[in-house]
Structure 1
Amino acid sequence: MSLSLRRALTYSLNRNPSPSLNARRTLHSSRAMAEVKKTTPKMRQRDIVSSFLCAPPVEEGGQHRGKWAVCSGTIEATDASPLAAAYREIAEETQLTPPSISLLRRGRPFTLRDETISTDWTIHPFAFLLASPDTPITIDFEHTEYTFVTPSQLSEYDTVPALADTTLRVLPGAEVEDALRTLRSDHTSGATALATLALLTLRRALLPPLSTAPTTAVQWRATRLLAWTLAKSARPAMAPAIEASVFGALERISFSIGGVGKNYDLKVAMEALSIEGFREVATKAIEDVMEAREEAVLKLASNFTACVQHSAGYQAAFTEQRPVTLVILSASASVAACVADLARAAAATKMGVRVLVLESRPGFEGVEIARAVLDLVGSDAEVEMQILTDAGVGWAVGEADFVVLGADRVTGEGDVSNKTGSLAAAGLAPTVGNGCKVVVVCCEEKIMGDDGGGAGLAEAEADGGEENEASEVTAAWPARAKEVGELEGVKVRNPYFEWVPSRFVDVYVTEAGEVGVEGLKKVARERRELEERLFDGL
C-alpha cells in the first residue's frame, strides 16, 4: 500500500517502490508557489523541490509495508540549496526533521511547462529515509486527510503533473537499488574504490538482461539517468569521485558517437546507430575511463614523491640521516600508492621512510592501509610501519615531517572532506609539529563541481554529513563500557567524515602536479560545465 494525501487546494499522491524497495512509506503534497524569476517575457520560471519520504523495511505484515510519499514546495531565496529547501518543506508540512529523516537519494531536476498559467516548473526530486517505519507523520493545516493506496490504484487518482516521471528519477529498478545499497553500506573502501564499483554498475546496466531498451535513444537516456543516480545518490560523502567517473564515461560515449558531442550532432548519430552498436561503444568508453583512472593514480603517486623530495622536510631528514616520517589515516588507495612510491624512491638514495598510522576507528581502516602500503612496496624498499591509537595523534604529528591526507571531497576553495580524525591531524601540524606540512593527495576526480554561485560546500553540508551505527563504536568496548552506552541520556556518536578547512592545508597534489586554489576552482568549474552539457534537456 502507498500513502495518499488530499488537501484543500491541490491533490496529492504517492507511489510504491520497485520490489527491492519494498516496506517503504511515502507522503506527497504540493502547494502554491511564489514566482522566483522569469525565463522569457511569456513564461514564468518557478523552482520547487519534490521529496519522497521512505521508511526502512519492517517485519512481514506491518501496516506501513511498501508505502511511498512526497512533499513539495517552492525554493525560497533564503534557502542555501534545493536540498535545504526540501528539508524545510518537509519540516513545515510533516513536522519531520533530522535525525527522523535523512537524505537517501536525489533525482535529476527537470522542467515541466504549464501553458495554462504560462509557467515553467523546475522540479528537484529527492528521496529521504525515515529513521523508523513507525515514525509519526503530523500533517499541517494545509492538508485535510491522507490514505494508503496500491500502485495499481495510481491511475484512479487525479495527481499533480509529472508525478510518475518524478518517481522514476528517485526510485530506480531493483538492480540499481541493489548496487546503490552496496555502495552505501561499504564502510571500509575509499572513494576511488567506490567509483570503480559505480563504473562497473554502469557497464552492467548496458547489457541484457538488465537493459531492455528498444532503441539507442532510449538506452542513452536510461544510461544518463543511471549515471546521475549513481553520482548523486550512491554515497553523498564520496560523491565527487563517483560523479567524475560516471560523467567522464558519458562524455567519452557522446564523443565516440557524436564527435564533438553537441546535442544536435549526437542526436543524429544516435538515430543512425543500432542498439548493439551503442552498447559496444559505451562499454569500450567505460573501460577506457577505468584504465585512465588507474594511470591517474600512478601519476599522482609520482607527483607526490617529487613534491616531498623537493621539500625542506625531506632535505632535513636526509641531512640528519634519519627516516622521513609521515602520518596517515583511514583507507585510501591514493595515499597507499603515494606512500609506496615515496618509499621506493627513497630507497634508491638510502633514505628510510617511517609511517605512523592512526588506527582509524571504528572500522580500523588504518590497519588496512598499513597492509596495503606494505603489499605495494614488497621487497623494493624498507618501510618502518607503526600503528597507534587515534588518541595518539598529537604525539604522531609531533614526530612527523608530513601529514598525508587523502580526500573524499575537495571544494573549489580548497576545503577537504575526509575520514574523521583528519581535522585533528591537520590542525595540530602548525601547533605541535616541528615544521610538519599537511599534504592532500587526490586525483582531480575528487574535486567537487561548483554550482556557479559558490554554494557547493553549503549543498555538501546540508544533510549534516554521514553518521553510521553506534554499534560500530561499541563493538570494541568491554562489557562494562557497553552498559554505559545503553544508559538513558547517553548517545554514542559515529560521524564518518569531517571537513578540513583550506587554511590547514599546505599543498594539494593531483595527477596534474601541485595545484593551488585557482587550479582547484578551474577543475570545479569544468565539472559543472560538463554536467550541464551531459544532462541538458534530460
Structure 2
Amino acid sequence: MTTPNLSQPPRKRAVISSFIFKSPDEGQKKPQVALFRRSDKVRTYRWVSMTPASRAPAQPSNNQSHHLAPISGSIDPNESPLEAAWRELSEETSLNCTSLSHWRTGKPFSFTDPSVNREWTIHPFAFRLKSTGEGGLGEKAIKIDWEHEGWQWFDPDSIVDNEEFGGVPRLHESLRRIWFEGEMNERAAEVLAAGLDRLQMDHQSGSQELTAIALGVFRDIVVQTRDGLDGDWWAMVRMAAWHLGKNGRESMGTSITNALISMLSDMDGIWQQQTSEEAKWDRILGAIDHHLSERKCRTKKIKDAFVSYLQSTFSSSDDHQQKNRLVIMTVSASSTIRDSILDAFGAIGNVKALELRVLESRPLYEGVTIASSLYSQFKSQFPTSPQNKTLEIKIYTDASAALAATDVDFLLIGADRISNTKGISNKIGSLPAILSAKHVQPSIKVLVLSDLEKVEGLNGEESQSSQEDNDPMEIVDGWNSQGVKGLPVLEDGINASKSGDSNARVQVKNIYFEWVPLALVEALVCEQGVLNKDSIRDQSLRLGGVINRYFGEL
C-alpha cells in the first residue's frame, strides 16, 4: 500500500452506499436488509482507505476482503449519486428498476481518513426488492458478481459499527441515515414511514396539498415523541423533517422542506426555554398549528396579487381596454391556478367572457380534472346575474398546444420548484406549450403562479438531477383501453427490456416534470407580488442559510 503524502490537502472522493431491503416475512414486523461479503478478488484498498487511521493497517490483512458491506462504488463525473447507485447495483447484483424500487435517500455525510489522506463523502440509499406479486423475481433476481463471495439478510437493528460484527467502516452510520426506525421510538417511526409512503404514492395532488399532508405527518411525529425535549429529541425531529422533504416526493419536496424549516425556526428556542416541559409542549404544538392555519391566508394573497397584475396589465394596454373577452391557456394541476382564475375574472369588471383553454395532461389527465372543477365552480360562483359573466372551456390534447395558443392573452403554469439557475419545474408539457405559444402568439404573456415556498434554497446539497420516471404502465394501460394496434408487439419489446435477454428492446418513459427557463417567463406572481430573477436569487440564498442551520450538521 502506497504511503500517502500527508503534506498535501486530503483528496476528496464521493461514493454511494446502497442498502437492499425486502418486505417482512410472515410473522415478522420489520423488513430485512442485505449485506454482501466482499470476495478475496477485490482490492481491499477501497475499504481499507475508508478505515479510520487508528484501525488502518499498514498492509491488507487476511480478513479485510471479507467484510460485510452494502453495494458501494464511486460516483463518476457528470453522474448524480442516484444514477451511480443504480449503475453499481446493476454491475454488482444484476438488479435494475424491474427488480428494485428506490425507497429512500439518506443524508450524505463526510469524514477524513488520514491514513490515505482523503476526505470521503458517503451518499446512502435504500432500495426495496420487488416480490413476485409486484412483477419482480424476489431474491432470485440477485446475481452477485466477482466482487462478492456471498450475501445474507440481516435485521437492520442488529447492524453495528464494531470489529466483531465484521462490517466495513461507518456501516451503521450509513444505514441509520435511511433506516430511521432505529433512531426513533416505534410509534413515531410508524407515523413517519406511513407518511412517506402516502406522499410517494400520491400522484394526483399538487405540491400545496402534499405539503399540507407532510406538515400534518410532522405534527403527529412531534406528538408521538413527548417523552423528552433534549438535544437528541431536537436532532431526531429535524431528521424527520429532512426525510419528509427528501423521501416523500422529491420533485415536490422544496415546498415541504421550506414549510418545515419555517416550523423548525419557530420551534427552535421554545424547547430550550427555562420553563416546564408541559408549557414547552403547549407552545411547540401551538406554533405548528399556527403554521397550518396561516397557509390558508397565503393562497388568498397570491390570488390578490394575480388580480392586481391582470388589472394593471389590462388598464395599461389599449388593446386590452377595448376587449371584453379574456383568453387564458393552462397546462397545470396547480390548485393555486384553479383557485385564482375565476376570482381574477370576476375582479376585472369590463371583461364579461372568459375562454379557458386547457391541455389534457396525459397520462393522468389532470387538465380534465381542473377543467371539471372550474366549470362546477363557475356555475356556483357566477349564477345568472347582472354581471352577465360567461365561461367557455376548451380542452385540447397535449399535442395541440400550438393550436390552443392562438389568440391567447395569458399562459398560466404553476411551479413545483423554482430555481435561480434552472428555472421553473412544472408538469411535463409546460415547456413545449410555452415554446409553441411564443411562436404562434408572440404577444402572449407567460405567468407563473406560485408561493415562495417553492423557491429552492442554495445550500450546497443539490436535489437529485435525474428525472422522476414513473410507472410506464400508466401509459400502457391507456393504450390497452383504446385497443391500440401493434401493442402486443411492443409489449414483447417491453418485456425484453425487463429481462435484458434481447438485442431489441422497448422502453416507455413516463416523466412527470420538466424545467422551464426563467427567460421564457414574463412574471412570477407570488404572495409578495411579482418576483424577478434577482428576488428569486436573494430568496434562495436566504433559504439556503436557514436550511444549513437546521439540517447542515445532521
TM above 0.5, one fold? yes
Whether 1:127 and 2:126 are equivalent positions in the alignment is yes
Consecutive unaligned residues of structure 2, counting only runs of 5 or more, are 36-69, 131-135, 181-188, 495-506
Whether 1:429 and 2:437 are equivalent positions in the alignment is yes
Consecutive unaligned residues of structure 1, counting only runs of 5 or more, are 1-31, 258-268
Q: Which residue of 1 aligns with 2:483?
A: 480
Distance in structure 2 (CA, Å) of the matches to 1:471 and 1:59: 29
Q: Which residue of 2 aligns with 1:262?
A: none
Q: Cα–Cα, structure 1 residues 223 and 153, in superposed 2: closer, same or farther, change >3 Å?
A: closer
Distance in structure 2 (CA, Å) of the matches to 1:475 and 1:236: 26
Contact 2:416 2:426 in 1 (8 A): yes
Distance in structure 2 (CA, Å) of the matches to 1:309 and 1:494: 39
Q: Which residue of 2 aligns with 1:179?
A: 195
2:104 corresponds to which letter in structure 1? R
Whether 1:362 and 2:342 are equivalent positions in the alignment is no
TM-score where L is the length of structure 1: 0.78
Q: Deviations over 1:315-350 (max 9, x none)?
A: 46644433111111332111112213311212x334
Q: Which residue of 1 aligns with 2:452?
A: 444
Which among 225, 237, 261 is matched to residue 211 of structure 1?
Answer: 225
Q: Which residue of 2 aligns with 1:26?
A: none
Q: Which residue of 2 aligns with 1:148?
A: 153
Q: Which residue of 2 aligns with 1:516?
A: 532
Q: Cα–Cα, structure 1 residues 331 and 385, in superposed 2: closer, same or farther, change >3 Å?
A: farther
Larger Rg over CA atoms: 2
2:469 corresponds to which letter in structure 1? E
Distance in structure 1 (CA, Å) of the matches to 2:13 and 2:192: 31
Equivalent residues in 2 for 1:68-467, closer than 5 Å: 68-69=34-35, 70-75=70-75, 78-96=77-95, 101=100, 103-111=102-110, 121-130=120-129, 132=136, 133-134=138-139, 136-151=141-156, 154=159, 157-172=165-180, 173-207=189-223, 210-211=224-225, 213-254=227-268, 256-257=270-271, 269=272, 272=274, 274-311=276-313, 315=317, 318-346=320-348, 348-374=349-375, 378-380=380-382, 382=389, 384-390=391-397, 391-413=399-421, 415-433=423-441, 435-452=443-460, 456=462, 459-462=463-466, 464-467=467-470
1:239 corresponds to which letter in structure 2? G
Q: Cα–Cα, structure 1 residues 328 and 535, in superposed 2: closer, same or farther, change >3 Å?
A: same
Contact 1:340 1:374 in 2 (8 A): no
How far residue 83 of structure 1 moved from its aligned partner, in angstroms, is 3.6
Distance in structure 1 (CA, Å) of the matches to 2:152 and 2:19: 16
How far residue 67 of structure 1 moved from its aligned partner, in angstroms, is 3.9
Distance in structure 1 (CA, Å) of the matches to 2:24 and 2:3: 39
CA RMSD of aligned residues (A): 3.7
Distance in structure 2 (CA, Å) of the matches to 1:389 and 1:135: 46
Secondary structure at the counterpart of residue 398 of structure 1: coil
Distance in structure 2 (CA, Å) of the matches to 1:157 and 1:473: 47
Distance in structure 2 (CA, Å) of the matches to 1:290 and 1:472: 36
Q: Deviations over 1:442-500 (max 9, x none)?
A: 11111222344xx84xx4432x3232341455247545228726642255443222222
Distance in structure 1 (CA, Å) of the matches to 2:199 and 2:335: 16
Moved more, 67-76 or 179-188: 67-76
Moved more, 219-228 or 134-143: 134-143
Secondary structure at the counterpart of residue 399 of structure 1: coil
Q: Cα–Cα, structure 1 residues 273 and 111, in superposed 2: closer, same or farther, change >3 Å?
A: farther
Moved more, 98-107 or 169-178: 98-107
Distance in structure 1 (CA, Å) of the matches to 2:298 and 2:244: 21
Distance in structure 1 (CA, Å) of the matches to 2:197 and 2:231: 28
Distance in structure 2 (CA, Å) of the matches to 1:105 and 1:518: 34
Contact 2:92 2:145 in 1 (8 A): yes
Moved more, 289-298 or 238-247: 289-298
Secondary structure at the counterpart of residue 298 of structure 1: helix
Distance in structure 2 (CA, Å) of the matches to 1:99 and 1:461: 21
Aligned residues: 482
Contact 2:211 2:256 in 1 (8 A): yes
Moved more, 358-367 or 82-91: 82-91
2:457 corresponds to which letter in structure 1? G
Contact 2:21 2:129 in 1 (8 A): yes
Secondary structure at the counterpart of residue 148 of structure 1: strand
Q: Cα–Cα, structure 1 residues 243 and 482, in superposed 2: closer, same or farther, change >3 Å?
A: farther
Name the % identity.
28
Q: Cα–Cα, structure 1 residues 356 and 196, in superposed 2: closer, same or farther, change >3 Å?
A: same
TM-score where L is the length of structure 2: 0.76
Secondary structure at the counterpart of residue 104 of structure 2: strand
